[in-house]
A and B are shown apart, each in its own frame.
Chain A
Amino acid sequence: MVRARGVARRFGSQVALEPTDIEVHAGEALALIGPNGAGKSTLLALLAGALEPSAGTIERVDDVRVGWVPQRAAFYDRLTARENLELFGRLEGEPEHAAVAQQLLIRFDVPADRPTHTLSVGNRQRLNVALALLGSPHVLLLDEPTAALDPGQRRRLWETVTALRDEGGSVVFATQNLEEIELYANRVAVLQRGRLTFVGPTAEYRELHAEEIFT
Chain B
Amino acid sequence: MRRSALVLRKDLRVLVRSPLLLGVLIAYPLLVAGLVGLVAGYGSSKPRVALVDEDHLPQLVAVGGHRFRIQDAIDEVGKNVHLVRMDPVEARHALATGRVVATLTVPPGFLADLKSGLHSPSLVYQVTRGGISSRVTQQVQALVYGLNRQLQTAYVRTDLRYVQLIVTGGRAEFGGRTYDVLGLARMQKLLQQLPPGPQRERIAEFARIAGVALAQTGSLLGATANPIGLERAHEHSRSSLLSAQVQSYALALTITFLALLLAAGAIASERDENAIGRLRRGLISMGELVSAKVALAAVVALALGLAIALVFGVIVEAGGVAGGEPWQRLPLLAVGLVVAGAALGALGTLLGALARETRTASLVAVLVVMPVVFLGLVPREVVPVAGWLSDGLPFAHAVRYFSASLYDASPWGALVRELVWLVGLGLAFGVLARLATRRLLA
Residues of A within 8 A of B (CB): 11-12, 45, 48-52, 66, 68, 70, 72-79, 83, 87-88, 90-92, 115, 131
Contacts and interface: CB of A to CB of B under 8 A. Distances in A.
Contact of B277 (A12, A51, A87, A115): A51
Contact of A74 (B14, B277, B438): B277
B441 A74 contact: no
Contacts, number: 63
Given A11-B442, A78-B18, A68 B6 contact: no
Contacts of A88: 278, 283
Contacts of A74: 273-275, 277-278
A91 B273 contact: no
B286 to A, nearest CB: 10
Given A72-B274, A75-B275, A79-B14, A50 B6 contact: no
B142 interface: no
Contacts of A66: 281
Q: Name the residue among B14, B277, B278, B442 with the largest chain A CB count within 10 angstroms.
A: B278
A68 B18 contact: no
B441 A76 contact: no
A78 B18 CA distance: 9
Interface of B: 3, 6, 10, 13-14, 17-18, 273-275, 277-284, 438, 441-442
Contacts of A48: 277, 281
A91 B284 contact: yes
A70 B277 contact: yes
A74 B18 CA distance: 20
Contacts of B280: 49-51
B10 A76 contact: yes
A78 B17 contact: yes
Given A79-B10, A91-B283, A92-B283, A52 B441 contact: yes
Contacts of A50: 277-278, 280-281, 441
Q: Name the residue among A66, A74, A83, A92 with the largest chain B CB count within 10 angstroms.
A: A74
Given A83-B13, A115-B17, 9 more contacts: A48-B281, A49-B281, A70-B277, A70-B278, A76-B10, A77-B273, A78-B14, A78-B17, A90-B6
Given A51-B441, A70-B274, A91-B284, A79 B13 contact: yes
Contact of B274 (A12, A52, A73, A92): A73
B25 to A, nearest CB: 15
A76 B14 contact: yes
A68 B273 contact: no
A73 B3 CA distance: 21
6 closest residue pairs by CB, A with B:
A50-B277, A74-B274, A91-B283, A49-B281, A78-B14, A74-B278
B278 A68 contact: yes
B246 to A, nearest CB: 35
Contacts of B13: 78-79, 83
A57 to B, nearest CB: 15
Contacts of A12: 442
A68 B283 CA distance: 12
A189 B6 CA distance: 38
Q: Name the residue among A68, A75, A76, A115 with the largest chain B CB count within 10 angstroms.
A: A76
9 contacts: A11-B442, A48-B277, A49-B280, A51-B280, A52-B441, A68-B278, A73-B274, A75-B273, A91-B279
Contacts of B3: 91
Contacts of A72: 274
B258 to A, nearest CB: 18
A76 B17 CA distance: 12
A129 to B, nearest CB: 13
A11 B356 CA distance: 14
Nearest to B269: A76
Contacts of B438: 52
Contacts of B277: 45, 48, 50-51, 68, 70, 74
Nearest to A66: B281
B283 to A, nearest CB: 4
Contacts of A52: 438, 441
A87 B10 contact: yes
Contacts of A79: 10, 13-14
Nearest to A50: B277
B357 to A, nearest CB: 14
